[in-house]
Amino acid sequence: MSPNRPQIADVAREAGVSIATVSRVLSGNTPVAPDTAERVRSAVETLNYVPHAAARILASRRTDTLGLLVPEISGAFFQPLLRGIEAGASEAGLDLLIHATQTIPVKARHHTLGEHNTDGLLVFTESLDEKELSRLNAIGFPLVLLHQTPPSSLNIPVVTIENRAGARALVEHLITRHDRRRIAFLRGPEGQEDSTLRERGYREALEAHHLPFDPALVVRGEFDRMVAFESVNTLLSTGMQIDAIFSGDDEAAVGALQALLQAGRRVPEEIAVAGFDDQVLAGSLTPPLTTVRAPTEEVGRQAVQILVRLIKQEEVVSRLILPTELVIRQSCGCPARL
Amino acid sequence: MSPNRPQIADVAREAGVSIATVSRVLSGNTPVAPDTAERVRSAVETLNYVPHAAARILASRRTDTLGLLVPEISGAFFQPLLRGIEAGASEAGLDLLIHATQTIPVKARHHTLGEHNTDGLLVFTESLDEKELSRLNAIGFPLVLLHQTPPSSLNIPVVTIENRAGARALVEHLITRHDRRRIAFLRGPEGQEDSTLRERGYREALEAHHLPFDPALVVRGEFDRMVAFESVNTLLSTGMQIDAIFSGDDEAAVGALQALLQAGRRVPEEIAVAGFDDQVLAGSLTPPLTTVRAPTEEVGRQAVQILVRLIKQEEVVSRLILPTELVIRQSCGCPARL
DNA sequence: TTGTACGCGTTATCAG
DNA sequence: CTGATAACGCGTACAA
């Protein structure tokens, strides 16, 4: 780094004390005489001394840093998640090291973040393979999973949301309030837990109202605008009869709306549309999107709290499922409120 | 951390070599006999050895990590910026430490990220005070500013966008194509450089077409939906005569659109609206938003490249201004394209 | 090509 | 309350 940064020894000399004393006033966990402390502080000030983090970590065996592994940081879904995590970490006085795994092959993700540079890790769905997960778990490294239930062999806490019930309530709304019977489902990524559970909720709703499940109505959404746009286009062009679309997430719902708009189908009169997540944009769409509110920011905040407890070796719940809530707007056919 | 993590010595013993050799095959900068290297690698594998980052940094005096200081990470504007920076860092084989400064008082931001834990820093507008900036600059620490020209006393490279010309082109479009003459401006945060330059572009456009500048037409937008919503509401309720709104950014434009919708004013017939940035949501608004495209992702990518060169002690440009581009949609009054 | 030994800048322990 | 000194885990001259 830079040539002659001041070190703790320089501060000690300047203040006329030992390095141990300097260390003490800086960390504050050991009492130091007030005037001595003041001398040290002013020496720090005049020398512009900044403790070297690596040396500190090496000696103290703590990093005071949390790690976050997410597929991407720029998606709209991740905004509130990041905000919650940021806030939680900040409140706990911890730094946050973020790694977006999307561009990196799963194999290479192993050691960018781990026991060597963080005190604990927050892992979002699909961001780490099972092998590394179990390695970290085996050495007792604090781990919290987000939106992903761990393999049954591993006892790692999860924080996620109530996907199934939320999806079911939404689809039942479409059925009972708006009398929709041919409801297409834009499913998310294959094997993704949120997606799977939302599909389950969708099927439960159908069953509960004695509607047949038609596999042809389940198409790819991938939580992605473009994919959803294409899928809905195909659906429409094949003449498939539908009167509603339940999109696995709001992002895909945007694509669905665009496809319907382009095809000249009226929403919600002809085809109702609903999403999941209640991203910021949901209320600004045309028509405003009926969806399920996922408390994503809260997920982040809670996950950090659990991770912090884990780091302190305190007891934690092994599974936290935050409630979701139906958000009625106009894309389902409900009237606008004043 | 965990009790008995394997250390380099364990690997050395397991492979029957010295720790120096292990270090060499791991870093790869010094030739090692192929079979020896293989033995080491398999020892690493069986022991699940992961080098301790702090020890490595302390010994090598490099962190291989870039730092990013931004006011917030969850705003829509920052999505492409983060993506560009992530990508750039990843390509350069560097880790990325991100700090959102918004919640932290300016005074306390000093040493969360700096010469002690990164090799260089990317600093977004208003994220660091001048004192810390000059301290870092003084010790020769690599720094790149984003969307913010450095104090003239400091020679720190900047990467930003062509705000003035972009704003001017947009406002001229409103004037010449749509014959608007009472154009309100929703300005961004006081003293923020982007905001200042966009206002300058706005005023230049007015002057160029001999339109009077009316201070009453310049109101607070703060790059924020709610603030813009309130400002436009006030503007409308005071009976101020306007036929267009140029919003300092897309975010504020959303608020403006909502206020206009609620007031029953037709966009663009009665009042045209335009924004700046071309965020992802711009095309999904009603009507689709005419705006200026800011190459935000590219800003991130370029900034990382400059920072990397700086770290390598290579020559760099001191000022990189990326071009902006008018994006015509329908909120200005232009017809939709097929 | 490989091994030895020292240094990196702190914190923690143990005397005083 | 304060000082000396041994870790902390790895990189890297230097020597072999």
Phi, psi of B52 (to 5 degrees): -80, 115
* Per-residue pLDDT at A1: 40
Average pLDDT over residues B194-215: 98
Q: Which amino acid is at B198?
A: R
| Residues whose CB falls within 8 Å of the CB of residue A76, separated by 6 or more in sequence, listed in order | A250, A251, A279, A280, A281, B76, B79, B280
Q: What DSSP letter does each residue of A133-163 carry, written as one string?
A: HHHHHHTT--EEEES-PPPTT----EEEE-H
Q: What angle do CA A250, A256, A259 make, to 5 degrees?
A: 150
* Per-residue pLDDT at A110: 64
In angstroms, the Cα distances linking B94 to B30, B85, B87, B142, B334 are 21, 11, 10, 14, 45
Give pLDDT tens digits for A233-251: 999 999 999 999 999 999 9
Using the beta-carbon criterion (under 8 Å), do A57 and B54 form an inter-chain contact? yes
Using the beta-carbon criterion (under 8 Å), do A79 and B80 form an inter-chain contact? no
Give pLDDT tens digits for A178-197: 999 999 999 999 999 999 99
Average pLDDT over residues A130-148: 92
Give pLDDT tens digits for A163-179: 999 999 999 999 999 99
Residue B103 pLDDT more than 80?
no
Average pLDDT over residues A200-227: 97
A80-89, A95-104, A198-207: the lowest-pLDDT one: A95-104
Using the beta-carbon criterion (under 8 Å), do B58 and A61 form an inter-chain contact? no
Locate the chain A residue with the closest alpha carbon to B1.
A61
Place of tokens 């996950």: A303
* Per-residue pLDDT at B95: 84
Give pLDDT tens digits for B145-173: 999 999 999 999 999 999 999 999 999 99
Using the beta-carbon criterion (under 8 Å), do A96 and B98 form an inter-chain contact? yes
**Percent above pLDDT 90 for chain B:** 69
**Is A52 touching B (CB cutoff 8 A)?**
yes
A166-170, B134-138, B272-276, B320-324: the lowest-pLDDT one: B134-138
Residue A3 pLDDT more than 60?
no
Q: How confident is the model at residue B1 (pLDDT cuts 50, 70, 90)?
A: very low
In angstroms, the Cα distances linking B237 to A267, B136, B213, B244, B262 are 32, 49, 21, 16, 12
The region that residue A14 occupies, defined by phi over 0 for left and psi between -120 and 50 for alpha, beta otherwise, is alpha
**Is A139 touching B (CB cutoff 8 A)?**
yes
Q: What is the mean pLDDT of chain A?
A: 92
Residue B191 contacts strand C, CB under 7 A: no
Q: How confident is the model at residue B28 (pLDDT cuts 50, 70, 90)?
A: confident
Pick out residues 6-65 of chain A having their CB under 7 A from any atom of nucleic acid strand D.
16-21, 24, 30-33, 36-37, 55, 58-59, 61
Closest residue by Cα to residue A77 from A282, A228, A272, A302 = A282
- Count of CB pairs separated by less than 8 Å, A with B: 134
Q: How far apart are CA A13 and CA B254, in angstroms?
A: 58
The residue with greater pLDDT, A213 or B15, is A213
* Per-residue pLDDT at B2: 42
Q: How confident is the model at residue A2 (pLDDT cuts 50, 70, 90)?
A: very low
